[in-house]
Structure 1
């Protein structure tokens, strides 16, 4: 790990709000400006997701399809940045899909950011590049604590090429083929986290229920920071912290260590 960009200490110390500190009942959709502001006010780290538009912009949005979060039909990838920026989020009091640059301006280094690039290949393969380039452009000159990650190792390899100074990691899990639109062979390969060294990763963010996996324990024993996702109760948090260095949480108010 010598010479690799180091995960900011704040992402090991502060609980990380999953898709920001969202709460539909309070008018804060996931990955929204309102959820970002709430996380900042509470002093949490923030995890957000990036998807790509038709004209190569990075938007803060989790799903590939617009339906669940906006009620509109079709993939976000088919909309321009201008079109996407005008689409209201459901239960968001008129708030629209934010651009990544706008969220960076809003956070402005006040709390740490954990940025997940969603797989754009469709099968965790090498057809990546545009979202990584948009991410690198947006983060150029950003002074706050930030790290990037993806389930797709090719995405992190590309970011290592474009922005080697950015702390980067892999989002990892048990890769149950029943839960993933991937081949059994691809699931078996990714489950072993074989690309960690190749992409110059400095941490993993692993599925909470799979933290006892031998490969995860071996990485942790080697000094690799292990974050985990997604914690939904104080009880689950207490269990996860026995094996992970920090949590990504939602649905409750995680305690901030003194």
Structure 2
């Protein structure tokens, strides 16, 4: 069963990892970046990883080094430890999905990317998807989930069929996906799982929007979002195909 993407996701640009600006003290995926996006009236895209005690944390990377002063895997620490860490350039901790949902409170569209937990875009998924489903129960307001891993999207279809879902897609160049077999990347390049996952949209790497498969999906009624736009010039080019953009480092 497909659940349509709410029109709100096509009506306002979507801030990538929220409206982050490290120079202004707003790290990516932080509560301050989320507050800034809400204030500016933008939609918000966030990323989720899973803590050791099963809490969805709003954080992009598997490892902590780039974004915090800590070392190691995010998944090796519990939610309390992760919330106590400081995001670089701020005095904020890593937020939980529950904290973000409470802050957004339906005021702007929220696009949630479930990061691959399998490690090779394979079938070893479930705990994060279950935790996301539990967190979203009772949430009111435009929300949608997506993932590069179609197994994750298929799991969300079973767990939360009324939550709109989509596939995060791109050209899947091997150098961008170390550890994922080339045959798997070749398979994903054709976006073969759109129908079986009950997806209603894709969010596609903007430099690959000319892909015939993207045109085919749009013709079939799929909503086409794209990532990550970093200038007005890129936005103008992307909007020739995409119905909305995910952006950063300028104001769309």
Same fold by TM-score greater than 0.5: yes
Does 2:213 correspond to 1:193?
Answer: no
Aligned length: 251
Does 2:130 correspond to 1:128?
Answer: no
**2:95 paired residue number:** 98
Q: What is the DSSP-based 3-state SS (H/G/I as helix, E as strand, rest coil) of the residue aligned with 1:67?
A: coil
* Distance of 1:192 and 1:101 partners within structure 2: 34
* Distance of 1:8 and 1:59 partners within structure 2: 24
* Distance of 1:218 and 1:79 partners within structure 2: 43
**2:213 paired residue number:** 215
Does 2:246 correspond to 1:245?
Answer: no
* Distance of 1:221 and 1:67 partners within structure 2: 42
Deviation string 1:206-258 (CA, Å, 9 cap, x unpaired) is: 0000001011110011111000000000010000000100000000011xxxx
**2:229 paired residue number:** 231
Q: How does 1:170-189 map to 2 (within 5 A)?
A: 170-181=167-178, 182-189=180-187
* Distance of 1:197 and 1:151 partners within structure 2: 15
- Structure 1 unaligned blocks of 5 or more: none
Query: Normalized against structure 2, the TM-score is what?
Result: 0.99
- Structure 2 unaligned blocks of 5 or more: none
* Distance of 1:33 and 1:179 partners within structure 2: 28
* Distance of 2:2 and 2:70 partners within structure 1: 42
What is the Cα deviation at residue 76 of structure 1? 0.3
RMSD: 0.6
**2:16 paired residue number:** 18
What is the Cα deviation at residue 85 of structure 1? 1.1
* Distance of 1:195 and 1:5 partners within structure 2: 15
Q: What is the DSSP-based 3-state SS (H/G/I as helix, E as strand, rest coil) of the residue aligned with 1:68?
A: coil
What is the Cα deviation at residue 24 of structure 1? 0.4
* Distance of 1:86 and 1:129 partners within structure 2: 26
Does 2:12 correspond to 1:5?
Answer: no
